[in-house]
Structure 1
Amino acid sequence: MRRPDASRRIGILALPGVQLLDVAGPLDVFAEANLQAGSLAYELKVIGTAPGPIASSSGMRLLPDSVLGEDSEKFDTLLIAGAPHFGQRLPEAKILDWLLHEAPRARRFGSVCSGALALAATGLLDGRRVTTHWSVADLLAERFPAVEVVVDALHVRDGPVRTAAGVTAGLDLALALVEEDLGQEIAKRVASQLVMFFKRPGGQLQFSRRGAANPAGRSSLQQIQRWVIAHPDEDASLATLADRAGLSPRHFARLFQQELGQTPATWVNTVRIEAARQMLEAGERPKQVAGACGFGDIDSFRRAFQRQLNVTPADYRRRFETREDKG
């Protein structure tokens, strides 16, 4: 394998407790790109925070190529991988200082999964559109209001910043970077070799279990929510819900928005889509699901489902089909 005049140095910062696939997935994409290109297009480095192996969230250990401050050569691309504990605590100051120094030197930088929380703590994501794993998207938006969080994206590009939703979405991001650097043909060959979508359909919310249907707010509103969850096929218009709560439609809508942060109609639609997902996963046909979940007809159901999850009900159902179902 020939070495090009200038390999692109890819650095992935792996903190203790890192999600192993957030590191190994992108690295495998870049390594396969080297094979498909027939040259060392990428020089791959894993950076640790201290000498010695890095314990991952699964218990497996990674041996880093270098530790913070050891390597003075700048990176072409610098990514910080996610770790399950990022929601509870952010990296210590020396890590944030290192990111502040190294990330702006790179041609592009970003994060995989909850690594966005650590990168946002540096201020480098302020004013940028980014994504992260659906389970910490609300936390990222709340903790760093200057960051624009794109909840449903698998990966997002904004100037020099590249962020991925997390775990397997790190492969999608790496493949997009390969396409940027080496062209579509090589990226397609990489995707084929790794048995992955070149452009994965839908966004990450098709995988999420956000608990949007959990009752919230004062007890009178929770009673209404429990009724809708138990009867997704029933009339859930504003007038009907307000009447069940013993309030005027205007007052009910204002109270609901105030306590749940969304309109009753938006919340009801989310509940119905979640109910529909469960039925589709169990093998029910879209036509039957539409009626059972309160949609007037199959076309309105299809539009609502695709608008929320970026995938059709039929395509979503096929992902859960068994061999017997297909037979």
Structure 2
Amino acid sequence: MPREVALVAMPNVQLLDVSGPLDVFAEANAQARAPAYRLRVLSARPGPVRSSSGVRLMHDGVVTETAPEGIDTLLVAGSPHAPDEVPDPRVVRWLRAAAAASRRYGSVCTGAFVLAQAGLLDGKRVTTHWAVAGRLVEQFPTITVDADAIHVRDGKVWTAAGVTAGMDLSLALVEKDLGRETARKVASQLVMFFKRPGGQTQFSSKGVAVPVGRSALQEVQRYVAAHPAEDHRVELLADRMGLSARHFARLFRKEVGLTPAEWVEQIRIAAARTMLESGQWAPKEVAGKCGFHDVDTLRRAFLRRVGISPSEYRKHYAGTARQAP
């Protein structure tokens, strides 16, 4: 029997959060040469669903008029407004019933906020779009958020990061159901990674935070950002504020939320990413220009913070900055 995949599209839904996963499951049907999945789009209210891009989406049913039983996989698509909105209580009740009856449930992008409002992520490890991961933690402290993961499974809960990551999640579900070979064929046909390299940190806005804290501390942060290659040991940074190294380190962690060494590494990685994207410098040159002792030190830090090596990052992103011959 085909497995029913129900994708809930809230008002102002991100269109690709819906169409991306559906295309993955539809291609799996084609590759399996059998109806492995029956696909349905459900809305929170009657009438066409207006997406965040303005395109209207016709649904297959309204959640409050749909029996929750029989749904194998329940996914909630994201919306730019999801972190700020409270779902209709009737929708929340339906989601709870459908999640309990389903084999698995989850979200794409900010759809995690909708599930969290329903109490369906309590005590779970999840992911969401990197830009709102901090807000999910603040609003729902019982949830563990992996802000770098492309997708996460915790028991029957499956969550994906922003937008296109919904396709990665759906491909993982296809692999779980139909096997690796079918999933590989789906990825090949859709021209997507079978296993995407690295996490979503590589797509974030360089990881550079706005200077925070008292004005003198902000001046130190601006100086480091402008001169990443210089020696930024705690003792030298403390001298700039006329403080002892211990006092400075304690103050920095309190007001910035990171140790000075962690923050300096973050700034250097951001500078390295910009240089690598230009395609003008090799990783060895980048290491010296961004304050790393050698290319191996850069590589270890890059893998830790971005999830892929500097060489891989340059290969993937430098082309966007270079003109074709």
TM more than 0.5: yes
Offset of 1:235 from its aligned partner? 0.7
Q: What is the aligned counterpart of 2:92 among 75, 81, 96?
A: 96
The count of residues paired between Structure 1 and Structure 2 equals: 322
Answer whether contact 1:109 1:160 (CA < 8 A) is retained. yes
Match of 2:46 in 1: 51
Question: Structure 1 unaligned runs (5+)?
Answer: 1-5
Match of 1:40 in 2: 35
Question: Structure 2 unaligned runs (5+)?
Answer: none
Provide the C-alpha distance between the structure 2 equivalents of 1:57 and 1:259, rounded to a whole number of angstroms.
Answer: 36
Match of 1:68 in 2: 63
Offset of 1:211 from its aligned partner? 5.2
Offset of 1:99 from its aligned partner? 1.1
Answer whether contact 2:206 2:273 (CA < 8 A) is retained. no
Answer whether contact 1:12 1:79 (CA < 8 A) is retained. yes
Q: List per-residue Cα deviations over 1:99-146 (Å, max 9, x = no partner).
A: 112111110001000110111111111111100000000000111010
- Residues 1:308 and 2:305 are matched in the alignment: yes
Answer whether contact 2:10 2:49 (CA < 8 A) is retained. yes
Q: What is the aligned counterpart of 2:14 among 10, 14, 19?
A: 19
Q: What is the aligned counterpart of 1:159 among 149, 155, 161?
A: 155
Provide the C-alpha distance between the structure 2 equivalents of 1:296 and 1:190, rounded to a whole number of angstroms.
Answer: 43
Provide the C-alpha distance between the structure 2 equivalents of 1:95 and 1:135, rounded to a whole number of angstroms.
Answer: 26
**Identity %, equivalent residues:** 58
**Greater Cα offset, 86-95 or 118-127:** 86-95
Q: What SS class does the counterpart of residue 50 from structure 1 fall into?
A: coil
Offset of 1:50 from its aligned partner? 1.6
Match of 1:3 in 2: none
Provide the C-alpha distance between the structure 2 equivalents of 1:160 and 1:205, rounded to a whole number of angstroms.
Answer: 25
Provide the C-alpha distance between the structure 2 equivalents of 1:95 and 1:244, rounded to a whole number of angstroms.
Answer: 55
Provide the C-alpha distance between the structure 1 equivalents of 2:295 and 2:148, rounded to a whole number of angstroms.
Answer: 24
Provide the C-alpha distance between the structure 1 equivalents of 2:307 and 2:152, rounded to a whole number of angstroms.
Answer: 16
Offset of 1:88 from its aligned partner? 2.2
Q: List per-residue Cα deviations over 1:66-107 (Å, max 9, x = no partner).
A: 002222143100010000011222323222222112111110
Q: TM-score, normalised by structure 1?
A: 0.95
Q: What is the aligned counterpart of 1:83 among 68, 71, 79?
A: 79
Provide the C-alpha distance between the structure 2 equivalents of 1:269 and 1:90, rounded to a whole number of angstroms.
Answer: 38
Q: TM-score, normalised by structure 2?
A: 0.96
**1:179-190 alignment to 2 at 5 Å?**
179-190=175-186
Q: CA RMSD in A?
A: 1.4
- Residues 1:321 and 2:300 are matched in the alignment: no
Provide the C-alpha distance between the structure 1 equivalents of 2:308 and 2:245, rounded to a whole number of angstroms.
Answer: 33
- Supply the AA of the counterpart residue of 2:242: G
Q: What is the aligned counterpart of 2:275 among 265, 276, 279?
A: 279
Offset of 1:320 from its aligned partner? 2.6
Provide the C-alpha distance between the structure 1 equivalents of 2:233 and 2:101, rounded to a whole number of angstroms.
Answer: 54
